[in-house]
Amino acid sequence: MAVSAPDPQAVRAANVDELRRLRLPLPPPEFPLVWEPGDEVELRPTREIEARMAVLQLILARCFGMPPRAAMSWLLGSHLVESLTPPEWQFVTGSIGDHRSFVLHHDAVFALAWVLGLSKHLDPTEPTDPRLVEALPNIAAGETLAKWRSRTLAAPRDAAEAAVLLDFHYCLDWAFLEAERTGAALPGLVDANAIGQRRWALEWVVVFYGPYHEPPAGWEEVDLST
């Protein structure tokens, strides 16, 4: 259910203060807001988020050696064939596509796990917590999506909380790219690629309603150009 989005100016001011604390470049004053006053926000349905996270897990499994036939068997058993995008389908079935770009989805999985309440933090200075793997579908062992759901209780975050983190990653994405462009030091072990993946997941999962928002975009249609 959609709720009122928090004050975007106040959220942006707090997030810029956090960038300053991290000693990262600050976006220009005209850097656009993610939403406007009076907008509403909600998360995509939990089942849809779980399915997307599981598909990304499968993509990663293929990146690290899972055979195409085993991947298809898992997809069929989990009833997720239709959840793959065309590029994902080509990669899973025929290893067609940029292997390196698919490997980066590791951090998108991390962000979706945070949204589902499976991870306690999404720290821009820290890489993915290796313990998170235990909370994700064990695809290598054949654990289907239904079996995973039966042992995992998702507790999705509040939509307004996720919106705040999305705005933070919108700013972080710009700041990390600018830091890497100028050779400035980053605040931890995370690079711009990881931040971009986390932002991608948050942009997809957080849905805004208001006069300036388009209908929710598909996974491949998420716009990360600004």
Residue 226 lies in a domain: no
What is the C-alpha separation between 159 and 163, in angstroms, rounded?
A: 6
Question: Do residues 51 and 139 both lie within one domain?
Answer: yes
Question: Do residues 164 and 71 both lie within one domain?
Answer: no
Number of domains the chain contains: 2
**Confidence (pLDDT) at 63:** 95
Of 117, 151, 185, which marks where a domain is finished?
Answer: 151
| Angle 192-198-203 from CA coordinates, rounded to 5° | 120
44 and 216 Cβ atoms separated by less than 8 Å: yes
Question: Do residues 38 and 76 both lie within one domain?
Answer: no
Residues 6 or more apart whose Cβ sits within 8 Å of residue 188: 123, 124, 125, 126
Backbone φ, ψ for residue 164 (5° rounding): -60, -45
Question: Do residues 84 and 138 both lie within one domain?
Answer: yes
Question: Do residues 129 and 165 both lie within one domain?
Answer: no
Residue range of the domain that includes 61: 46-151
Query: pLDDT under 50 in the chain at which residues?
Result: none
pLDDT tens digits, residue range 117-144?
Answer: 999 889 999 998 888 888 999 999 999 9
Question: Do residues 79 and 134 both lie within one domain?
Answer: yes
Angle subtended by helix axes 46-63 and 192-205, to nearest 10: 150
118 and 152 Cβ atoms separated by less than 8 Å: yes
pLDDT tens digits, residue range 27-62?
Answer: 999 999 999 999 999 999 999 999 999 999 999 999
